[in-house]
């Protein structure tokens, strides 16, 4: 062992010894134990503070520097750790080890986010959600930096700053926060009509997800998979949530913004803490190189989907999120994704949006971290060894050894040296490119409306209503009549029905021309055709003294057996007593919770509710009903529903036989929402 190694080992030994002996004792950052942390050093008890108080100075200086710039977009997000398990080898398509070797489990870190809002904004706003995954593979980090919507607003990265300026709060007022319902966003849309398809998605229920655990994820761009023989296929990546893709309703989403601005992160943290690990299957759509021009859209155009009915999604593995972050700053804030972080076997396409992203991400990280060494912080570090001749820079962590920091060299036997392809060296796919330098867009990128209509055609009537209402809300908020009219006229190219209905709602002129001759639909785009499960759904159970203990236990046990999470609500915290002597510990009061925090309500009651109790319970039940949520009732609860004329409606379940009731109610919960209801006063 060299002298240097011995010295290093000794230092590590010393560190370890101290850390066990002195655990719990506060020190300065230089290691000196601190004796006082409440009173700064002063000249006399009532005298001035002295500069020589090094602990005070250090503590305050650190605090003064505790903020880093928030992300320009996707500032508000939350993360979790997990793992990825491959189902079957993809070696025919890719040389990436983590996609070939089914015996390997790859650690991952995922960050979900909204796009437009600042770091402290609400999580349930109408917005696209980021879905960024870092795979720590044995061959280096692969980042799949995707969204929960499979297409994007623009086709060329050069327009990204314009898009983001338009959606962010308007510069002269700083309003609105985390919202697209304002003039500059819609002015951008009307004057950059390639946005049509994505705007349809953004106005759909996809933009108000129920949970991070219930969203699809998409790599959006066309990438390439390249196998060991150097053969390439075009690929699009998908994440399919095992719980299905489900959304809030608009009124609920807005109320949640106030009642619980952290609703999505809370939901993720709680699910993982309870062992309900979120799962997503990784899917790939694959197109052969020779089939590149077989479609009625350009497969490099990021405003287009590859309809799943034409190009099936093959599920190749599963990601499970198993661990919450320990420190939000160190992990969630410091994680730095980059769509250019690829491993051998995965390559890029010429999608002009993707190409531009390859520049932007490193640049923005340098701005956020003030250093090119952000790859050294723990959350960004590859799990495999990494070494090269890069040196120095702000906050360099690695203590690089030796005399030589250049290649080629003879003094260090030419180490580190590039690896050959056989040794795992990344070799860029040798696509033939032959063209004139030109600032233009291919003709094949110019159809902006057909797939927007495909999306509209694929929606159920309820989904269409929601889209119409979302357009009417957003456009209804605009001050400029001209922008409103431009948007109506633009979306007449997608659907005359949609544009006419919205025009009527906002008092604009109905479109004079337009309409689409696209009749195709893609059932895979509708959320109604996705998985429905009772698992992890939260049911608020309204209980008062005098309930029937055995009956309640029977229902609760059956709901739990179905994976449902019942939580008890009453007028006060503490214990409520049953007629048969049983006791129930109350989880929430009418004050501390709200129907919007639950997927369903089960009304039980008791035998002595006061008028106030009845009023509060009524509010819960009626609000949940107006959000189309499943409502169950037994005992006194049935009377409440009868008094409100709610019995007999879709998704309202009552019963005397507790087992049978619980089973039927669990089915209603699994169905998520019951649209077939007369709701007279609610806009959703
Ligand atoms: Fe991003 N994007 N983006 N983006 N993006 C960023 O990088 C950018 C785009 C996406 O949780 C930034 O680290 C450009 C598409 C996610 O940390 C920035 C263009 C898709 C996240 C940036 C796009 C995304 C970002 C801001 C147009 C879906 C959050 C902070 C060419 C496929 C990752 C940062 C996280 C973040 C640039 C378009 C997804 C500024 C220039 C398309 C999920 O670099």
CB–CB of 643/603 below 8 Å?
Answer: no
Answer whether 130's CB lies under 8 Å from 376's CB. Answer: no
Residues 599 and 624 in one domain: yes
Q: Mutation test of ligand 1: which of 357, 358, 379 has the most ligand atoms closer than 8 Å to its C-beta? A: 357
Report whether 190 contacts 481 (CB < 8 A). no
The answer to whether residues 481 and 511 belong to one domain is: yes
Q: Which atom of ligand 1 is nearest to the CA of 156?
A: 31
pLDDT at 12: 60
Instruction: Let me know whether 304 and 235 are in one domain.
Output: yes
> Based on the domain organization, do 523 and 536 belong to the same domain?
no
Question: How many CB atoms are closer than 10 A to CB 161?
Answer: 11
CA of 304 to the centre of ligand 1 (A): 18
Asked if 600 and 621 count as a contact pair (C-beta separation under 8 A), the reply is no
Between β-strands 565-570 and 588-589, what pairing exists: parallel, antiparallel or unpaired? Answer: parallel
CA of 115 to the centre of ligand 1 (A): 9
109 neighbors 81 (Cβ within 8 angstroms): yes
Residue 43 DSSP label = S
Confidence of residue 608 (pLDDT cuts 50, 70, 90): confident
Q: Reduced to 3 DSSP states, what percent helix, strand and coil does the chain have, rounded to the nearest 5?
A: 35, 20, 50
Nearest CA to ligand 1 atom 23: 357
Using an 8 Å Cβ cutoff, are 547 and 569 in contact?
Answer: no
Predicted pLDDT of residue 20:
57
Name the percent of the chain lying above pLDDT 90.
94
CA-closest residue to ligand 1 atom 16? 130
Distance between Cα 361 and ligand 1 center (Å): 7
pLDDT digits (tens, 9 = 90+) for 443-467: 999 999 999 999 999 999 999 999 9
Q: Decide: helix, strand or coil at residue 646.
A: coil
Cα-Cα-Cα-Cα torsion 641, 646, 648, 653, nearest 10 degrees, comes to -50
Asked whether residue 7 carries a pLDDT value surpassing 90, the answer given is no
Last residue of a domain, one of 486, 504, 528: 528
- Ligand 1, residues 69, 70, 74, 300: which to mutate, most atoms within 8 A of Cβ? 74
The residues that are catalytic are 74, 147
> How many A from CA of 377 to the centre of ligand 1?
20
Q: Which atom of ligand 1 is nearest to the CA of 302?
A: 42
Nearest CA to ligand 1 atom 18: 361
At 186-214, the pLDDT tens digits run 999 999 999 999 999 999 999 999 999 99
How far apart are the C-alpha atoms of 338 and 336, rounded to whole Å? 7
**Measured in angstroms, how far is the CA atom of residue 73 from the centroid of ligand 1?**
7
pLDDT at 681: 57
3-class DSSP assignment, residue 666 = helix
Q: What is the pLDDT of residues 274-324, one digit of tens each?
A: 999 999 999 999 999 999 999 999 999 999 999 999 999 999 999 999 999
Ligand 1 atom 9: residue of nearest CA? 357
Residue 185 has pLDDT above 60, yes or no: yes
- The residue whose CA is least distant from atom 19 of ligand 1 is 357
Do 519 and 577 lie in a common domain? no
**CATH (domain of 209):** 2.40.180.10
List all residues whose CB is within 6 A of at least one atom of ligand 1: 71-74, 77, 111, 113, 130, 132, 145-147, 152, 157, 160, 220, 335, 337, 353, 356-357, 360-361, 364-365
CA-nearest residue, atom 27 of ligand 1: 157
How far, in Å, CA of 207 to CA of 254, rounded?
12
**End of a domain among 351, 376, 401?**
376
Q: What is the CA radius of gyration of the chain?
A: 29
Nearest atom of ligand 1 to the alpha carbon of 73: 26
The residue-averaged pLDDT of 418-441 equals 95
Contact (CB, 8 A) for 595 and 624: yes
Judge if 498 and 584 occupy the same domain: no
Note whether residue 36 is domain-resident: no
Does 437 map to a domain? no
Q: Round to whole Å and give the CA distance between 468 and 339.
A: 34
Residue whose Cα lies nearest atom 31 of ligand 1: it is 157
| Ligand 1 centroid – CA 483 distance (Å) | 27
Q: 486 and 634 share a domain?
A: no
In a domain, 240, yes or no: yes
The dihedral formed by the CA atoms of 464, 470, 471 and 473, expressed in degrees to the nearest 10: 140
Q: Residue 3: which pLDDT band, with cuts at 50, 70 and 90?
A: low
Q: pLDDT-based confidence at 23, cuts 50/70/90? A: confident
In this structure, the strands spanning 538-543 and 600-605 are parallel
Summarised one tens digit per residue, pLDDT across range 468-501 is: 999 999 999 999 999 999 999 999 999 999 999 9
Tokens encoding 223 = 């990438």
Residue 395 falls inside a structural domain? no
Residue 508 DSSP code: P
Q: What angle do CA 85, 88, 90 make, to 5 degrees?
A: 105
User: Residue 345: inside a domain, yes or no?
Assistant: yes
Determine the atom of ligand 1 nearest the C-alpha atom of 152: 42
499 shares its domain with 588: no
Domain containing residue 488: CATH number: 1.20.1370.20
- Nearest-atom index, ligand 1, CA of 219: 32
- Predicted confidence at residue 683, as pLDDT, reads 52
Q: Is the pLDDT of residue 16 over 90?
A: no
Domain boundary among 528, 556, 574: 528
205 and 97 assigned to the same domain: yes
367 and 466 belong to one structural domain? no
* Average pLDDT rounded to a whole number, residues 105-130: 98
Is residue 2 pLDDT above 60, yes or no? no
Query: Which pLDDT value is given to residue 1?
Result: 44
Euclidean distance between CA atoms 304 and 450, whole angstroms: 9
CA of 207 to the centre of ligand 1 (A): 17
* 361 CA closest ligand 1 atom index: 44
Domain CATH for 597 = 3.40.50.880
pTM for the predicted model, two decimal places: 0.95
Q: What is the mean pLDDT of the chain?
A: 95
Pocket test for ligand 1, best of 127, 130, 134, 304 (most atoms within 8 A of CB): 130
Burial of residue 630, with CB atoms counted within 10 A of its CB: 0-12 exposed, 13-18 middle, 19 or more buried: buried
pLDDT category at 609 given cuts 50, 70, 90 is: confident
Q: What percent of the chain has pLDDT over 70?
A: 96
Q: Which long-range contacts (CB under 8 A, 24 or more apart) does 674-682 make?
A: 674/628, 674/629, 674/630, 674/649, 674/650, 675/462, 675/628, 675/650, 676/650, 677/625, 677/628, 677/649, 677/650, 677/651, 678/649, 679/625, 679/626, 679/628, 681/626, 682/251, 682/626, 682/627
CA distance linking residue 2 with residue 227, whole number of Å: 42
Q: What is the DSSP string of 206-220?
A: GGSBS-GGG--EE--
Mean per-residue pLDDT for 60-76?
97
* Residues 680, 207: Cα–Cα separation, whole Å: 25
Structural domain count of the chain: 3
* Ligand 1 atom showing the smallest separation from residue 72 Cα: 26
**What's the pLDDT score for residue 610?**
87
What is the distance between the alpha carbons of residues 126 and 173, in angstroms, rounded to a whole number? 20
Is residue 331 over pLDDT 90? Answer: yes
Residue 211 in any domain: the answer is: yes
Whether residue 326 sits in one domain with residue 208: yes
State which H helix or E strand residue 621 sits in.
Answer: helix 611-626
* Residue 181 lies inside a defined structural domain of this protein: no
Q: What's the average model confidence in pLDDT over 573-600?
A: 97
Residue 253: give the domain boundaries. 54-157+196-376
Joined together, the tokens standing for residue 283 give 């899917």
pLDDT at 657 (0 to 100): 98
Residues 454 and 588 grouped into a single domain: no
State in Å: Cα 611 to ligand 1 middle. Answer: 53
* Residue 297 domain-assigned (yes or no): yes
**CA nearest 545: which of 564, 568, 561, 529?**
568
Q: How far apart are the first and last CA of the chain?
A: 71
């Amino acid at each position: 062992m060299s002298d240097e190694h011995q010295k290093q080992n000794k230092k590590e030994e010393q560190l370890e010894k101290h850390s066990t002996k002195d655990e719990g004792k506060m020190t300065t950052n230089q290691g000196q134990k601190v004796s006082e942390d409440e009173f700064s050093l002063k000249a006399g008890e009532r005298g001035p503070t002295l500069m020589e108080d090094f602990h005070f100075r250090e503590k305050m200086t650190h605090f003064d520097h505790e903020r880093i710039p928030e992300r320009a977009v996707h500032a508000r997000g939350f993360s979790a750790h997990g793992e990825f398990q491959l189902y079957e080898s993809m070696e025919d398509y890719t040389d990436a080890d983590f996609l070939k070797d089914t015996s390997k489990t790859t650690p991952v870190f995922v960050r979900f986010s909204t796009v437009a809002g600042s770091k402290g904004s609400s999580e349930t706003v109408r917005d696209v959600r980021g879905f960024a995954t870092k795979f720590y593979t044995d061959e280096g980090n692969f980042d799949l930096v995707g969204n929960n919507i499979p297409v994007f607003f623009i086709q060329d990265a050069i327009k990204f700053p314009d898009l983001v300026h338009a959606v962010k709060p308007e510069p002269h007022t700083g309003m609105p926060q985390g919202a697209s319902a304002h003039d500059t966003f819609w002015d951008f849309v009307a004057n950059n009509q390639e946005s049509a398809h994505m705007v349809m998605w953004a106005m759909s229920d996809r933009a108000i997800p129920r949970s991070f655990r219930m969203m699809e994820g998409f790599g959006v761009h066309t990438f390439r998979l390249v196998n060991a023989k150097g053969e390439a296929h075009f690929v699009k990546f998908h994440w399919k949530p095992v719980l299905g893709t489900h959304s809030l309703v608009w009124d609920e989403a807005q109320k949640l913004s106030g009642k619980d601005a952290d609703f999505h992160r809370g939901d993720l943290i709680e699910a993982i803490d309870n062992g309900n690990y979120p799962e997503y299957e990784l899917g790939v759509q694959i197109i052969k190189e020779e089939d590149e021009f077989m479609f009625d859209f350009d497969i490099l155009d990021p405003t287009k989907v590859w309809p799943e009915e034409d190009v099936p999604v093959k599920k190749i593995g599963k990601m499970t999120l198993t661990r919450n972050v320990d420190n939000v700053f160190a992990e969630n804030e410091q994680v730095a994704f980059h769509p250019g972080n690829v491993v051998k076997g995965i390559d890029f396409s010429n999608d002009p949006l993707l190409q531009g992203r390859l520049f932007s991400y490193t640049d923005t990280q340098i701005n956020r971290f003030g250093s090119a060494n952000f790859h050294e912080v723990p959350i960004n570090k590859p799990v495999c060894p990494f070494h090269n001749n890069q040196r120095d820079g702000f906050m360099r962590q690695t203590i690089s050894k030796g005399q030589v920091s250049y290649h080629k060299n003879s003094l260090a036997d030419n180490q580190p040296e590039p690896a050959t392809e056989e040794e795992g060296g990344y070799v860029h796919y040798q696509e033939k490119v032959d063209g004139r330098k030109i600032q233009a867009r291919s003709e094949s990128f110019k159809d902006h409306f057909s797939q927007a209509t495909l999306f509209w055609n694929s929606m159920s009537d309820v989904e269409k209503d929601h889209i119409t209402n979302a357009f009417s809300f957003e456009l209804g908020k605009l001050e400029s009549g001209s922008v409103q009219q431009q948007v109506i006229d633009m979306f007449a190219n997608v659907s005359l029905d949609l544009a006419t209905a919205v025009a009527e709602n906002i008092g604009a002129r109905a479109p004079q021309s337009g309409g689409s001759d696209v009749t195709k639909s893609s059932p895979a785009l509708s959320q109604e055709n996705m998985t429905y499960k009772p698992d992890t759904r939260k049911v608020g159970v309204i209980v008062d003294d005098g309930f029937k203990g055995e009956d309640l236990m029977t229902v609760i046990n059956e709901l739990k057996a179905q994976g449902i999470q019942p939580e008890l609500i009453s007028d006060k915290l503490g214990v409520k007593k049953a007629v048969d002597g049983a006791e129930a510990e109350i989880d929430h009061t009418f004050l501390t919770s709200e129907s919007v925090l639950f997927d369903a309500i089960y009304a039980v009651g008791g035998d002595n509710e006061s008028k106030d109790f009845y009023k509060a319970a009524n509010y819960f039940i009626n609000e949940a009903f107006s959000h189309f949520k499943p409502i169950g009732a037994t005992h006194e609860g049935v009377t409440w529903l009868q008094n409100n004329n709610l019995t007999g409606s879709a998704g309202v379940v009552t019963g005397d036989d507790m087992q049978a009731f619980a089973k039927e109610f669990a089915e209603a919960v699994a169905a998520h929402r019951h649209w077939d209801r007369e709701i007279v006063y609610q806009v959703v």
